[in-house]
Amino acid sequence: MRSLVGYAGMKILIAGAGSIGQRHARNLRTIGAGTLAVFEPDAAKRTTISQELSCDSYNNFDEALRSMKPDVVFVCSPTKFHVAQALAAAKAGAHLFIEKPLNHTMDGVDALSKEIEKNHLICMVGCNMRFHHGPRTVKKLLVQGEIGPVKNADITVVFNFTGRADFEGKLEKYSKSYNADPSQGGATRECVHEIDLALWYSGPATLKSATKEMAGRIGLPAIEGASNLMLQHENGVVSNVHLSIMEPVYRRGCTIQGEKGSIEWSFGGDVIVRDTSGAITASYPQPQSYEVNQMYIDEILYFFDCMKKNVTPQGNLDDATRALAVALETIERAEERATVIA
Ligand SMILES: NC(=O)c1ccc[n+]([C@@H]2O[C@H](COP(=O)([O-])OP(=O)(O)OC[C@H]3O[C@@H](n4cnc5c(N)ncnc54)[C@H](O)[C@@H]3O)[C@@H](O)[C@H]2O)c1
């Protein structure tokens, strides 16, 4: 496994040691990143993770920034804290890895962008699906022009309440999480990875139409449980993106249609290329030993590489702002069932 040779001296603060914060903390430790510390308001979680990783812990974010003076902050708190905490960290001169979605609203995004520019910081927003074997291969094939000019893309993710393994589809746990809070949760924000993939594959787009279904049938009528977006990209491609947290079986993947054929991927499976007759012309199997955690390791190795080379990463603040803008427009303007946005 690649390690972060040369980063042993870096001070890394994880803000929010829940599901994803703990994952990043363990991965950072595994790949040999420098000194770790966590800021976590929940005392029990704070103690458990700091003991496991033998690292410092804080129950106050400003105090953590002042006392530790981190080189890098991983913002892994509930969504509504992302931009405010990233801004405080940027003012303290720390590079930023912010979990997706960038934020619950656009508030503070401009100020964050200015602070990042002023302090010459590297900022990446968690876009781990770009580092997964499937989407990474799809993107590579598109760049190579394997299927010619693209006409349309269907991109889907369907969760059983949430992709989080620790929820195990348990509605009670989900209903107490930030995702069940309409000011920061719902299927569209939660599933923003697929909006990001649509924009990554086919470039900037406007939202042409959107529908949504509130999550009343799983007892959460205040949040949208599913949304369908139609994006018109500047290059002429049309993407249909389906996001849901309400279905019994996890499903994730895409089909992209081009003038010379199509590319298909479904989670865990091969990436397949077909010609216009439907015959399979190439297949890119997921490595047998592939572990989902590898994409999270690959994204942080890439992030550290961008810091080392002082280059703007893919999945940067602008990319994440565009994906968030589409998500927020969907939440705000789509009405239940088939509503067309002019
Ligand atoms: N990229 C991914 O695959 C992925 C996966 C899961 C979650 N996420 C994102 O990460 C964020 C956290 O999700 P999670 O699943 O880890 O949630 P979680 O509920 O498991 O963890 C959040 C943690 O933040 C703590 N917290 C509460 N208030 C805080 C504050 N003000 N500052 C810092 N920490 C605070 C909570 O005590 C909890 O431990 C969300 O925005 C989510 O969208 C991304």
CATH of domain 129-288+321-336: 3.30.360.10
The whole-number pLDDT of residue 249 equals 83
pLDDT range class, residue 164, cuts 50, 70, 90 = low
Q: Which CATH architecture has domain 11-121?
A: 3-Layer(aba) Sandwich (3.40)
Q: What is the pLDDT of residue 232?
A: 98
Note the pLDDT of residue 219: 87
pLDDT-derived band of residue 279, with 50, 70 and 90 as boundaries? very high
Nearest-CA residue for atom 22 of ligand 1: 18
In angstroms, what is the span from residue 126 Cα to ligand 1's centroid? 12
Question: In which band, very low, low, confident or very high, does the pLDDT at 168 lie, cut at 50, 70 and 90?
Answer: low
Q: Taking the domains of the chain in order of start, what are their residue ranges?
A: 11-121, 129-288+321-336
Nearest CA to ligand 1 atom 4: 20
Average the pLDDT over each of 13-22, 160-169, 255-264, 286-295 and give the range with the smallest value.
Answer: 160-169
Ligand 1 atom nearest to 193, measured from its CA: 1
Which residues have C-beta atoms less than 6 Å from ligand 1?
A: 15-21, 39-42, 45, 76-79, 81, 99-100, 126, 128, 164, 177
What is the average pLDDT across 165-187? 83
Under the banding of pLDDT at 50, 70 and 90, the label for residue 338 is: very low
In the chain, beta strands by DSSP E: 11-15, 35-39, 56-58, 72-75, 95-98, 123-125, 150-160, 205-215, 220-233, 238-244, 246-258, 261-266, 271-274, 280-284, 335-336
Write down the pLDDT at residue 3.
52
Q: According to the model, what pLDDT value does residue 340 have?
A: 47
Helices vs. strands in the chain: H and E counts, helices first: 11, 15
